[in-house]
Structure 1
């Protein structure tokens, strides 16, 4: 893999930490700002909404800009948003900074996904994507649990400051790893032609499946702290432990899927999809048993990211006719789910701390039913599109 792919993954690590970090901070943040936990959960949804809206919009605006300059500008805006979030005492202002940070993250990820796909051979998109998303999974292993621990010791604001600092080495990596380049050539598909790809049923279908699976992941992940402290009866310092296990599992899932998603995506979905749904059911039933919670945190992390990354890779394949916008479509698919998941899961908190886990099981089941009802068959060879009949 080219070195720039790994350097982009470093930046994705910083942004992934920011996107996921509230999972371990919600109770303390809510108490400090005078809102309930479900309202604080809207910070995760706001971030995801900003990602959904921002990905296609900013990708369209930046489609002719030099990639390195675009990535650095988005990273700088992301840094500023987290500095402002760290110093505010107003929930509405914090919500606004999350939206701004999301727009910056959306632009960055959309450009990074497209740039990454262009750095490798056509049949290695899934592998390159797994490395890029590896930055997100490492964030769940180290960044998010570290942020939760930092928040537990020094308060939630310290985590926002830490994310801002993480942007600095990420920017250095981009400066050293990517050429300055010139503006992208004006030749190529017109924007309206690339947007017209969104009328293709196969692309919409695979984006919808990715959104549902990601909604399940974010729905459970956002409210994992109450599961640990209330359902399992563990102390707050166990929250980072569970997050580490989920992150280690997610890294394993992305790594395994990255080697299969280009050539055998059907096998990944057919095997890991049903296991993912059953795993959420098992976690909902056995969350009160600490040992089961710890084991299932790892297993669900692996299954969720194996299925999710495979579906997002298929979005890039299906959007091959939109070379400058494909990354934004993949980003939107990820974050439609990330926006909806916490909202749906938050509605179930009244049933108890495991309500979000059961909501995740339902969302994955819906994705499997959609695939079955559409008689979806994933191509067995790289570069071949999703086939439906």
Structure 2
């Protein structure tokens, strides 16, 4: 795997830390800025909204930019937004910086994935995407707990300064490691051509499954720190450890998902989403038990990320003619879940149902993802005569029975 792919993963790690670290910073931010926990939780949704809008918009805008130039420019904007965020005098300014940061990060995601898949041969594309995406998993294991510790010891603003510094390191690495060519080396890959290639119902069904499956896990994760201290009655010192445990489960889930994604894509989606439903429901019922909560936090991380390699790679097979926009739109799909889920969680908390109720929201979102995955499998099994597509983009003449065996 080229070193440039790992550098792209580093960029996702540094910026992904900012995307998810607010789950551990919410209590400090709410106290410092004089807002409620649900209002502070809207900062997570603000970031996700910026990702939803920014991923396809900036991926299209930078389609013909040199890769290195696009990545450096987007990271520079991200760094500047975090410096302003660290100095923010109030909630409103911080909210705006979260949206701006997300726009830049979303563009980086789209360019990074598109760059990764052209840096490797065809048989290694899924692995390259997994390496880039693993930066986000490492962010939940290392970056989020580290940000929480910084917030607890030196204030939440220190965590923002830390992210800005790490992203600067990533930017410098990008300048040296990333080739200077364009994201798309094929002149036919215009925005209009890629949009035409994305006109496939199965692709948009995959995006819907992505949104619900990711929302199912992120809604609980977003309020996990407060749930642990207020419901499970753990001290603040345990929060970074539990966040790291969630991330460890996610890393294992990514590793498992990466190995089985090609062979059993639909089964992986159904099993992962189904496990999220069960684990979320159990957490809602047993959140006052420390032992049960510890186990279920790990299971949520594992189940939440075991589907990630399938969700990330399958869209490229469904629309091979849109290598830039298809990945960018998938990033938007992830963040539709990341935007709506915390907002829904905040609504149930504000309604007086308590912090454990967010796990019921996760169970409900997962319950929608399961039939969506089953329907995707049904369409896949129908075969080429009715528009079925195998997960790895095999030739259209492939026997539907072979696709059924692999799912």
Q: What TM-score do the two structures reach when normalised by structure 1? A: 0.95
Aligned to 1:351: 353
Deviations 1:12-56 (A, max 9, x none): 100110000100011110111111111111111111110110111
One of 393, 396, 399 as aligned partner of 1:383: 393
Q: What residue ranges of structure 2 are gaps of 5+ in the alignment? A: 382-388
Within 2, Cα distance between the matches of 1:244 and 1:52? 26
Superposition map of 1:205-244 within 5 A: 205-244=205-244
Q: Does 1:158 align with 2:155?
A: no
Aligned to 1:136: 136
Within 2, Cα distance between the matches of 1:233 and 1:107? 39
Q: Check conservation: 2:207, 2:330, Cα contact below 8 A.
A: yes
Q: Does 1:362 align with 2:364?
A: yes
- Higher mean alpha-carbon deviation, 190-199 vs 128-137, is at 190-199
Superposition map of 1:1-389 within 5 A: 1-181=1-181, 184-185=184-185, 187-349=187-349, 350-372=352-374, 375-377=378-380, 382-384=392-394
Within 1, Cα distance between the matches of 2:322 and 2:98? 29
Within 1, Cα distance between the matches of 2:183 and 2:149? 42
Deviations 1:262-304 (A, max 9, x none): 3321231233231221111121122111111111111110110
Deviations 1:327-374 (A, max 9, x none): 211211111111111111111112011111110010000111233456
Q: Check conservation: 1:249, 1:298, Cα contact below 8 A.
A: yes
Q: Check conservation: 1:55, 1:107, Cα contact below 8 A.
A: yes
Q: Check conservation: 1:16, 1:136, Cα contact below 8 A.
A: yes
Within 2, Cα distance between the matches of 1:42 and 1:373? 32
Within 2, Cα distance between the matches of 1:277 and 1:205? 20
Q: Check conservation: 2:111, 2:183, Cα contact below 8 A.
A: no
**Count, aligned residues:** 389
Q: What residue ranges of structure 1 are gaps of 5+ in the alignment? A: none
Q: Check conservation: 1:13, 1:139, Cα contact below 8 A.
A: yes
| Backbone CA RMSD of aligned residues | 2.1
Q: What TM-score do the two structures reach when normalised by structure 2? A: 0.91
Within 2, Cα distance between the matches of 1:384 and 1:207? 20
Within 1, Cα distance between the matches of 2:257 and 2:38? 33
- Higher mean alpha-carbon deviation, 320-329 vs 117-126, is at 117-126
